[in-house]
Amino acid sequence: MALRINDEAPDFTATTTHGIINFHEWIGNGWAILFSHPKDFTPVCTTELGYMAKLEPEFTKRNCKIIGLSVDPVDNHSRWVKDIEETQGCAVNYPMIGDTDLAVAKLYNMLPADEAGSSEGRTAATNATVRSVFIIGPDKKIKLMLTYPMTTGRNFDEILRVLDSMQLTAKYKVATPVNWKNGEDVIIVPSVSDEEAKGMFKEGWKTLKPYLRLVKQPH
């Protein structure tokens, strides 16, 4: 069955570059990002994992752990990180799952359609995970899912932006408008009446339509 937003993120135990982890225990009480890449020692993936390494301190500030995954063995990951640091200028310090039996890739439906049939006779060498991203909340539920084609590198600045939005909207009764960036005006959700909003947003707000009320980002 396909995963959906607000489903509980499937738990698993896996071998990583940081040893064996249980996913839910590893997440703890914070947020987590699980992202897959097609294959080690490939060009687009090298740039992606290097950029995530650069962004890791920003995710840490937001109480969010990151973990990578491909069907390559952990030994390959450990050798590849040297190339990533050399070419991208940043060391990969987050764990990377070696999903050689495809267990997690199947659990999270990370395989492309032409490789999603019977598991009989399949090996890690003949499969490549697509570029999937899952953001998981402290309640262990899936908050975001994204899947890119193998040939297109992801915009991880966007993942950070979405995390900012979700953490804000989890705390306050607001939503974020198109192209919103941290610090910009937000939207009071329609379920909040004007009367209730007066107690929440004492500096007032701008009403464009009864259902579209802009207010300064709460802190």
Same domain, 210 and 108: no
Label residue 113 by pLDDT band (50, 70, 90): low
* Residue 88 token pair: 């991208």
User: pLDDT tens, 5-54?
Assistant: 999 999 999 999 999 999 999 999 999 999 999 999 999 999 999 999 99
- Annotated catalytic, 90? no
User: pLDDT tens, 148-166?
Assistant: 988 899 999 999 999 999 9
SS3 117: coil
Same domain, 207 and 102: no
pTM of the model: 0.91
Let me know: does 31 contact 62? Beta carbons within 8 Å: yes
Same domain, 118 and 206: no
Q: Backbone phi, then psi, for 186, in 5-degree steps?
A: -125, 180
> Of these residues, 27, 45, 52, 102, which one is catalytic?
45
Same domain, 96 and 47: yes
Label residue 118 by pLDDT band (50, 70, 90): very low
Please give the helix or strand (H or E) that residue 159 lies within, else none: helix 156-171
Q: Which domain holds residue 67?
A: 13-153
Same domain, 55 and 89: yes
Mean pLDDT across 63-72: 96
